[in-house]
Structure 1
Amino acid sequence: MAVLGSYCESNGSVAHVWVHGGLSPCFYFTLVPVVLLTLSLFCGTVHCVCYRRFGTAMEPKFVPHSKLYALQLCISALLLLQFVAGVVWQAAGPGVLPGYALAYGCLSAAGWGCAAALLWTERRRVLVQDRTRGHSTVLLLFWALAFAAENLAFVSWSSSLWWWSLETRRQQVQFGLWLLRYIGTALLFILGLKAPGLPRRPYMLLINEDERDLEHGQPLLGQNRESQSTWQNFGKKVRLLVPYMWPKGSVRLQLLVLLCIGMLGAERAINVFVPIYYRNIVNELTDGSSWKTLAATVCIYVLLKFLQGGGAGASGFVSNMRSFLWIRVQQYTNRLVQVRLFAHLHSLSLRWHLGRRTGEVLRSIDRGTSSINSLLSYIVFSIFPTIADIVIAIIYFSSSFNAWFGLIVFVCMFLYLTLTIVITEWRTKYRRDMNTQDNNAKSKAVDSLLNFETVKYYNAEEYEVNRFNHAILKYQESEWKVNASLALLNQTQNLIIGSGLLAGSLLCAYFVTENKFQVGDYVLFGTYIIQLYTPLNWFGTYYRMIQNSFIDMENMFQLFTEEQEVKDEVNAGNLLFKLGRVEFENVYFSYVEGKEILKDISFTVMPGQTVALVGPSGSGKSTIIRLLFRFYDVQGGCIRIDGQDISKVKQVSLRAHIGVVPQDTVLFNDNIRNNIRYGRVSASDEEVEEAARAADIHQRLLSFPEGYETQVGERGLKLSGGEKQRVAIARTILKAPQIILLDEATSALDTKTERNIQASLAKVCTNRTTIVVAHRLSTIISADQILVLHEGQIAERGRHDELIAKGGLYCDMWQKQQQGSDSDSASDTETKDRSTEKLQPREEKTK
C-alpha cells in the first residue's frame, strides 16, 4: 500500500516547469486536468443549461443510428475508468504516492465525466434555431486539448522523470496508460469532426422537409437507404455471407473449407518464420558456423520461401493450393445464390415483375453473385490475414525485441490503415463522377449510332462528333482527378512506409552498435517490415472493392426480401378436374387501392362452352384472364373450377389444366422445336410435329432452311406475327389443357392472317372450356355467350344476335367496326414486313 507523500516529488514545486531535460511531472499533471476540468465543467455546464432551457428534445426518427457514436461513448467511458484505475493501481503499489498523481486522476475523471454528459446531451436535445451541425465548440475544444496534452509527453523524451526508458514495471504500466490515452483522445477528436451521432443537417431543415414529405405521402424516416454508410450493420452483413461459405449437406466441401482455413493459418506462421530463418542465415554467416549447419538453415529457409512465395503468400505453394481447393466452394456459392434467387423471382407475382426492369434485376443477380465471392475472397483471404499479420508482428517485435519496435509497427500500421481509408473515402466522389461521365459518353455514342439515319437527314455529323468529344473531355477531367488522387494515396502510403522503416532501422542499428542486437536482427526487422507492407499496398483497393461489393450484395438481398403476393395455402391440395365448369361469383379486384377494375363480376362458363369478353380498353377483360390463371388473388368474391375455389388449390395444379394464347407471343431464343416443346417438356419429336400440324404450321416450318431446328432469335423476332402465333397455338395444343384462355390472340395481326389463325384456334378450342378476350367482334360471332364489360361491370350478356337486337353498347361497337372494315381491308393489303431478318422458305432462297 502506497503512502501519500508531498504534492510534488523530491522537494519540487508546481512552479518548476522544466526539470531534468523535460517538463516537470508535477507541473504537467496539475495543469492538464485543471484546464480540461475547467473547460468541461464550467463551459459544458453553461452549454447543458442552454440545451435544457432553450432547446428541444429531438424526435427519435431524426437521430441517426450510428455505431461510431457508440464507439465515442465507449472510448469516453474507457478513458474515465483508466484515470480511476491508474490512481487505484498507484495507491495499491509500494512506495510513495505524490499528491499530484492523486489530483490528476480525480480531476481528470471528473472532467471526462462532464464531457461524456455533454456528449450524451447533444445527441438528445438541440437548439432549434441553430443552423450549424456537428458537436459543440466546447466538446471539440476539449478533445483537441486532451489530444494536444498527450502529445506534450514527447517533449520529455530525454527526461529521467518520465517513463520513456521502460526499464521498470511501473514505467511500463505508465507508458501503457499513456498509449491508451493517446489513441483514445486521437480517435475522439477525429470522430468528433465527423459527429456520427448527430443529424447531418440542421434540425429545423429536417423538420421542414419531413412535413413536406408527409404531405406528399413520403415520410422522411427510412428515405435514404443510399445515404447510409456502406459499413453500417457490418456484422449483420457478414452473417449473411456465412451460409454461402459453409456448404450444408456436403461433407466434402465442408472439409475443403476447413482445409483452406487451416492453410490460411499456416501462411501466417510461415510469414513469421521466413524472416527469422533469414536472420539465422545472416548470423551464422557472421559467426562462422559450419557448412552443415548453414546448409540446413538455408534449406529450411528456401522451403519456407517456396511455401510462402515471392509476394508474401501471394503466389506461393500454400496460397496456390488454397486457391485451387477453394474453386469448388466458390462454384457452390455461385450456384446456390443464383438458383435460390432465380427460384424466388419466379415465385413473385406478376405485379412485381411488371413494375421492375428485367435488365436491372439481372444486373442485381450478376453483381450480387460476384459480390459474395469477392467479399469472401477479400475479407477471409485478404483483410483478416493482413490484420492478423499486423497483430502478430506487433506481439513478436514487442516480445522478441522490445516495446519500442512494437510501438513503431503499431503507429505505422495505424496511420497507414487510417489514412488509406480516409483518402479512399475522399476519392470515392471522384470515381463516382468518373463513372457518371463514362456512362454519359457511352450513352451519347450509342444514341447517335442508333439514330444514324436521323443524323444523316439533318447533316448533324459534326454536331454529334463535337458532342461526343465534349463528353470525352468531361470524362477525362474526372479521370485525371481519380488518377491524381490515386497518386496522392500511393505517395502517402510510401511516406508512412519509409518513415516506419527509417525509425525502426535506426533504432535497430543503434542496438546493434551497442551489442544488444546481432546483425541478423537488423536484417530480420527490414525483411519483416517490407513483407508486412507488401499486402498493405492493396489495402485501399480491397477497401473500395469491399465497399462496392457490399452495395451490390445489399441490392441482391433486397430481392430476397420481396414477399410473394400469391401464395399457396398451407394445406392446399391439387385441383380435381372433372368437366371444366368455370364460375366467377361476385368478384372484386383492383390493382391500386381505391380504383376498382372489376366490380361484382358474376358469370358461369359451362364445360365445352366458349365465352367471349368484349369492351373498351381498361374495362377489365384481360384482368379476368389473369385472375383465372391466378396471377393475382381476388379481393372480393370467389372463382371456382368444378366447384373448387382456385385460391384453395396449388397454383401448379391449377395452371396445369389451363392453356393461354396471349396477344403478344414471346418465344425463347432457341429453335422452333424446343419452343413448341415448352408446352410439355417431356414430349417427343413426333408429338411436337403432330402439334405443329394441328396448328397448321408444319409445312411452313419444313420450308425453312433448317426446319424445326431454326433459331427464332431473341423474343422470336425472326418469325412473322402469324408464325409466332401458330407456334404459340402448337405449344398450347401440346400442353393439352382442358381450359383455353385466348387473350386477344389475333388482334395484332392483319385481317388475312387473322382469318387463317382463327381456323387453327377453332380446332384447339373444340370440346374445351374457352374464354376469349376479343377486340374484333367478327371473331366471336359464334361464341356461346358474349359478356360486354364497361367500367369493370358486365353491362350486357347474350349471344351475338341477341345483343345486336338489343341495340345497346355491343350493337354500337359492332356498327363502328363494320364501318371501318373497308378501310382496314385496304390497309391490310398494303402492309408489308420491312424486316430483312424474317425467314424465307427454302424455294425462295434458291431463286
Structure 2
Amino acid sequence: MGKLDVATALKTLHYVAPAAVVIYFISAKTVAACFLHQPSKRAGSRPRRYAAIGILLAIVATIIAQGVVYVLEATRDPEWASSQDAAVYVLADLLAYVSLTIGIAENKKPIWHQYIGAWTVGLFGEIALTALQPLAEPTKNRYAIACAVCHVLRSLLLLILTISGFAFAILDRQKMEQTKETEPLLSNGNGHAAKPNRYGAANGSGNVLTVPEAEESDDDDIDSDSEEPDRDKELKATQKKRLEESGSWLNYFKDFKIFIPMLWPYRNRFVQSCLGVVAIVTFAQRFLNVLVPRQIGIITDQLTQGGGNGVVPWRALGFWMLFSTLSSSAGLSLLKSLAEIPVQQFSYKSIGSSAFRQIMTLSMDFHNEKNSGELIRAVEQGQHLQGLLEFFLFEVGPMFTDLLVGFFYVYTLFDVYMTLILVGVGLAYIWIGAKTTTWSVKARRKFNNAWRNEAKVQNEAISNWQTVSHFNRGGYEVDRYTKSIDDFNKAEWHYYIAYYIGGSAQSVVMLIGRLAAFTLAIYRVAQGRAPVGNFVTLILYWRSIESPLMNVSYSIRRLSQMLTDSERLLQLMLTKPSVASAPGAPDIVIKEGKVEFDGVNFAYDIRRPTLKDISFTAEPGQTVALVGETGGGKSTIIKVLYRYYDLASGSIRIDGQDIRDVNLDSLRDSFGMVPQDPALFNISLMDNIRYARLDATDEEIMEACRAAAIHDKIETFPEKYKSTVGERGVKLSGGELQRVSIARAILRQPKIVLLDEATSMIDAETEALIQKAFKRLTAGRTTFIIAHRLSTIQHADLILVINDGHIIERGTHNELIKQNGKYVALWSKQLSKDVEDVSKAPDAVNPDQVLLDVDNSSAETVIDEHTSEAD
C-alpha cells in the first residue's frame, strides 16, 4: 500500500471510527427500546458500573491529552500541525465517549450489550488507527510519539472494557441458566406459585405489587399539567402493561392501525388535495429557510465587491424579495393554514363520529359500568388526535430535516468544525432539556398537589362554616389554611427554580454555541477562507437551527400526551359489544307474536345466578304479568327478551325464531317499551314523542297523545308541543313523564308491548283515563307487564310469580288465589289483610284500577274502603 493510500485510509478512518461507535450505540439502543430489552438482575452492580465509568473517564482523558498535543503542535510548531481530519477525530471521539460515560452514570441498571458492542467497535477503530498512524507519518517527533501513546493507551483501555464486558455477560448467562435449573416449580415456600403483579411479573415474595405502590413511583413520567393525574397514571400503567404484553413497540402500535381510516382520507379527494398542498408547502418552506438568509449573503457579497460604484444588485434583491414574500405569513404560510382546515375538520369528524358510533353500539353491560364523564373525555381527547398525522408528517419530519440540512449547510458555508459545534450544542441542549424537564415535572406535580390541597382546605372550611362555628375552631382552620399556603409557596418556589434554571441552562448552551459559531465564522472571514456574505448568512440562518432544537422537548412532550389521549380512545374502540347481530343475520318476521322462554338461565355475575331455568309460553295476543318481590328477576326477563344480554343457556323464540339468530336492530324495532323511569331529551315535546317513530306526522303524534290522556295537558303549556322539557324531562311531573312515554309507545305501533310499572306514577283519576289507551295499545299484541300493584294485573292471561330467579307459581289470578301460596302472600301485604281473607275475595278490585281489563265481566266492586285505600 502506497503512502498516499495509507494517508487516505487514515483520513477516512478519522471520520469513520468515532461515527461508527455512535451509530452502533444509537442503533443498539433503538433496537433494545423497540423490542423492550430488559437489563439483567446484576446489571446494576455498583462495582461494575463504577469500574466502567472509571475506565471510560481514563479514555476521555487520553482523548483530551491528544487534543492538547494537537493544540501545542499547531501553536509551537506550525509546520508539524495536524490535519483537519485528525482534529475532527479528537472532537468526535470526545463527544462519543463522554456520551457513553454519562449514559452509564445516569442509568442505575444499564443494558450492557449496547455498551459492550460500542466498545468493541471503538477498539477495532483504535487498533486500526494505531497501526496506520506511523505508516502515514513515518517521521518521528515528540508530537507523533505522544499521539501514538494516546492511541495505545486508549486501545488497551477499550480492550479491558470489551473483555470484561463479555466475561461478565457470559457469567451472568451461566448463573441465569443455573437459577432456572434449580428453581422450584412453586416459587415460594407455602406451596403457592408467586402471583404476578399488574404487569405480569412475579416478585420474590409472591405478593402482588398493588396499584398504588406501582403508581407512586417517581419514574412515572406523567404530564405535570394534567387535570386528572390519577387517571393519567392509570392510563400510563395500562400502556406499560399492553406494551409488555406486546413484546415490542412494533406490536404495540399494531392496535393503532384502527385510527388509520379515521386519519387518512381514502375517498375524499378534496381533503387529499389539501394534504398534498400542505406537503408541498412544508417541503418548500425547508428550502426557503435556507434561501432567504443565503440571498442576503449574496447581496452582501455583491455590495462588498462593488460598493460605492452605484450598481444595485437588482437580480439578487429581486430574488430576496420573492423568497421573503413566500416565507412571510401572507405567503405560503397562509396557503398552508387554509389547506390545513379541511384536513383537521375531516379528522375531527371522523374520529368523533367513529367514537360516538362505537359507544352507541356497545351493550348494556358496558353502559351499566361506564363513567359518562370518562367516555365524553375519551371522545374529546381522541379528537385531539386530528393533529397526529400532521404532527408526524409536517412537524416532526420537518424539524429533523431542518437539523440535518442545517448541519450540512453550515459545513458548506465554512467547514466541518462548524458542524461539530452545532452537533455538540444540539446534544447538550437536548440532554439538558431532558434532565430539567424531568426535574420540573416532579416539582410541578408537587406544586399542583399543594395547589389542590390549599383549595381543598379553603373550600372545606368555608362550606362547613357551621360545624367550625359549633366547635369554635375558627383559629384552627385559619392555621390549617395558612400552613397549606406555606406548603404551596414552598412547592411553587421549588418548581420555578427548576423551571428557570433549566431554561437558563439551555439558553447558556445555545449562547455558547452561537458565540463559538460566530467567532469561528469571523475567524474564517478574517483569514480570507470565506466571504463576508457567509457570515451574514450564518447570523440570519442561526434561528432556523435553534428553532427545531427548542422544539424537540416540546414535541416529545406533545407526542407523549397524544399517546395518552389515544390510549383512552383506543381502549374504547377495542371494546367489543357483548351482544351483537351475527354476520348476515336476517330480520325477524313477527306475524303472530308467540314468545317462548325455554330453559333460560342467566347471571350478571357467574357467582350469583339471576334467572334459573325460566320456561313459559306467551301465546299470540296474550298478556303475561311478572310479579314478585324486588330483586327476584322480573326486569331481567324483560332485558333478556330485549336482548340487552345474551343467555348463559336456554333460548328465547319469537314465532319460532331464536332471537340470537336474527338482526338485533329488527328485533328491538319490534318492541314498544314503557319504562318505569322514562327519560326525555332536552328538546321539544313534539320531537321527544317523534323519537319513537321518526317518520310520524304531527297529527299522528297528537293522536297518540290523546290516546295517552296527555294532549289536553300539553295544550295548557305556553309553548304547547314546542315546549322543551329540560334535561331528562325534569320540567314534567312524574305522571306527565309516564304519559308521554305511553304516547311514544302508542306511536311506535309495536308488535310486542313491554310495560315496566307503567302506571306507578299515575294517580287513580289519570289511570282511569288511560285504560282505553292501553287497551288500544295492547289489542291483538303480546304484552308483558311488570307490576308491583297486583290490582292492576289480576285479569292478565298468565301471571308468573318470580322469586330468586325461579318461577315459583304460574296461572291466572283466580288459579293463584286458590293455590294460597306466594301470590296470595303478596296480596295480603298490599291489602294489609290476612291470607285467609284475601283468598275469600279474589276479585276485590275496582274495574277502573285494572291496568289491562282482558275480561270486563270478571271485574267486581270494591270490598270495602280499606281495600280501596290499600290499592
Whether these two folds match at TM > 0.5 is: yes
Code of the aligned partner of 1:545: R
**Residues 229, 584 of structure 1: alpha-carbon distance in 2 compared, 3 angstrom cutoff:** closer
SS of the aligned residue for 1:213 comes to: coil
**Residues 807, 70 of structure 1: alpha-carbon distance in 2 compared, 3 angstrom cutoff:** farther
**Correspondence 1:262 to 2:275:** no
Give yes or no for contact 1:68–1:196 (8 Å, CA) kept in 2.
Answer: no
2:334 maps to 320
1:285 maps to 303
Q: Distance in 2 between matches of 1:694 and 1:472?
A: 65
Shift of 1:671: 1.1
Code of the aligned partner of 2:644: F
Cα distance per residue 1:720-767 (max 9 Å; x no partner): 111111111111111110101112233356666666666644442232
Cα distance per residue 1:96-132 (max 9 Å; x no partner): xxxxxxxxxxxxxxxxxxxxxxx99x94555xxxxxx
Q: Distance in 2 between matches of 1:801 and 1:75?
A: 78
Give yes or no for contact 1:72–1:191 (8 Å, CA) kept in 2.
Answer: no
1:192 maps to 107
Q: Which residue of 314, 319, 340 corresponds with 1:295?
A: 314
Code of the aligned partner of 2:303: L
SS of the aligned residue for 2:69 comes to: coil
Give yes or no for contact 2:344–2:387 (8 Å, CA) kept in 1.
Answer: no
Cα distance per residue 1:115-165 (max 9 Å; x no partner): xxxx99x94555xxxxxx835431453145325523542343342499999
Shift of 1:317: 2.3
2:144 maps to none
Q: Distance in 1 between matches of 2:47 and 2:82?
A: 41
**Correspondence 1:141 to 2:51:** yes
Q: Which residue of 366, 369, 384 corresponds with 2:383?
A: 369
Give yes or no for contact 1:147–1:185 (8 Å, CA) kept in 2.
Answer: no
Structure 1 portions without partners, runs of 5+: 4-24, 30-66, 77-118, 127-132, 310-314, 822-847
Q: Distance in 1 between matches of 2:618 and 2:362?
A: 29
**Residues 318, 344 of structure 1: alpha-carbon distance in 2 compared, 3 angstrom cutoff:** same
Shift of 1:554: 0.9
**Residues 373, 511 of structure 1: alpha-carbon distance in 2 compared, 3 angstrom cutoff:** same
Q: Distance in 2 between matches of 1:224 and 1:212?
A: 20
Structure 2 portions without partners, runs of 5+: 4-13, 18-23, 75-79, 114-186, 189-196, 216-232, 835-871
**Residues 174, 490 of structure 1: alpha-carbon distance in 2 compared, 3 angstrom cutoff:** closer
The TM-score with structure 1 as length reference comes to 0.74
**Correspondence 1:646 to 2:636:** no
Shift of 1:522: 2.1
Code of the aligned partner of 1:185: L
1:358 maps to 372
**Correspondence 1:211 to 2:211:** no
1:387 maps to 400
**Residues 764, 69 of structure 1: alpha-carbon distance in 2 compared, 3 angstrom cutoff:** farther
Q: Which residue of 556, 559, 563 corresponds with 1:546?
A: 559
Shift of 1:609: 1.1
2:855 maps to none
Cα distance per residue 1:195-221 (max 9 Å; x no partner): 4799xxxx99974577333999x999x
Q: Distance in 2 between matches of 1:815 and 1:659?
A: 32
Code of the aligned partner of 1:211: G
Give yes or no for contact 2:239–2:567 (8 Å, CA) kept in 1.
Answer: no
**Correspondence 1:334 to 2:348:** yes
Shift of 1:481: 3.9
Q: Distance in 2 between matches of 1:538 and 1:245?
A: 24
Which range moved further: 261-270 or 483-492? 483-492
Shift of 1:470: 6.6
Code of the aligned partner of 2:612: K
After superposition, residues 649-798 of structure 1 pair within 5 angstroms as 649-747=662-760, 760-798=773-811
Code of the aligned partner of 2:292: V
2:160 maps to none
1:839 maps to none
2:93 maps to 178
Query: Number of residues paired by the alignment?
Result: 698
Q: Which residue of 261, 265, 289 corresponds with 1:271?
A: 289
SS of the aligned residue for 1:159 comes to: helix
SS of the aligned residue for 2:785 comes to: strand
Cα distance per residue 1:587-615 (max 9 Å; x no partner): 01011113211111001111111111111
**Residues 550, 194 of structure 1: alpha-carbon distance in 2 compared, 3 angstrom cutoff:** farther
Q: Distance in 1 between matches of 2:81 and 2:824?
A: 105
Code of the aligned partner of 2:86: Q
Which range moved further: 140-149 or 608-617? 140-149
Q: Distance in 2 between matches of 1:557 and 1:531?
A: 37
**Correspondence 1:526 to 2:535:** no
Shift of 1:193: 3.5
Shift of 1:380: 3.4
Shift of 1:548: 1.8
After superposition, residues 834-845 of structure 1 pair within 5 angstroms as none
Q: Distance in 2 between matches of 1:191 and 1:602?
A: 69
Code of the aligned partner of 2:700: E
Q: Distance in 2 between matches of 1:455 and 1:758?
A: 57
Shift of 1:532: 2.1
1:226 maps to 236
SS of the aligned residue for 1:212 comes to: coil
SS of the aligned residue for 1:385 comes to: helix
Give yes or no for contact 2:414–2:521 (8 Å, CA) kept in 1.
Answer: no
Give yes or no for contact 1:687–1:734 (8 Å, CA) kept in 2.
Answer: yes
Q: Distance in 2 between matches of 1:265 and 1:163?
A: 46
**Residues 214, 415 of structure 1: alpha-carbon distance in 2 compared, 3 angstrom cutoff:** closer
1:89 maps to none
Q: Distance in 2 between matches of 1:391 and 1:457?
A: 71
1:404 maps to 417
Cα distance per residue 1:492-547 (max 9 Å; x no partner): 22111101011111212222222222222222222222332235444434332332
Shift of 1:455: 9.2
2:326 maps to 307
SS of the aligned residue for 2:736 comes to: helix
After superposition, residues 442-481 of structure 1 pair within 5 angstroms as 477-481=490-494
1:250 maps to 268
**Residues 228, 192 of structure 1: alpha-carbon distance in 2 compared, 3 angstrom cutoff:** farther
Q: Distance in 1 between matches of 2:794 and 2:465?
A: 47
Quick one: percent identity of the two aligned structures?
Answer: 33
Q: Distance in 1 between matches of 2:797 and 2:490?
A: 71
Shift of 1:362: 0.6
Q: Distance in 1 between matches of 2:93 and 2:207?
A: 51
Give yes or no for contact 1:758–1:779 (8 Å, CA) kept in 2.
Answer: no
The TM-score with structure 2 as length reference comes to 0.72
Q: Distance in 1 between matches of 2:437 and 2:508?
A: 16
SS of the aligned residue for 1:586 comes to: strand
Which range moved further: 166-175 or 456-465? 456-465
Which range moved further: 700-709 or 139-148? 139-148
Q: Distance in 2 between matches of 1:350 and 1:254?
A: 39
SS of the aligned residue for 1:742 comes to: strand
Shift of 1:700: 0.6
Q: Distance in 2 between matches of 1:452 and 1:739?
A: 57
**Correspondence 1:418 to 2:431:** yes
Give yes or no for contact 2:40–2:111 (8 Å, CA) kept in 1.
Answer: no
Shift of 1:578: 0.7
Which range moved further: 580-589 or 465-474? 465-474
Shift of 1:560: 0.8
Q: Distance in 2 between matches of 1:68 and 1:612?
A: 75
Give yes or no for contact 2:627–2:801 (8 Å, CA) kept in 1.
Answer: yes
Cα distance per residue 1:44-95 (max 9 Å; x no partner): xxxxxxxxxxxxxxxxxxxxxxx9998449799xxxxxxxxxxxxxxxxxxx
**Residues 434, 347 of structure 1: alpha-carbon distance in 2 compared, 3 angstrom cutoff:** farther
Shift of 1:811: 0.8
Cα distance per residue 1:783-816 (max 9 Å; x no partner): 1111011111100011122212211111111111
Shift of 1:377: 4.5
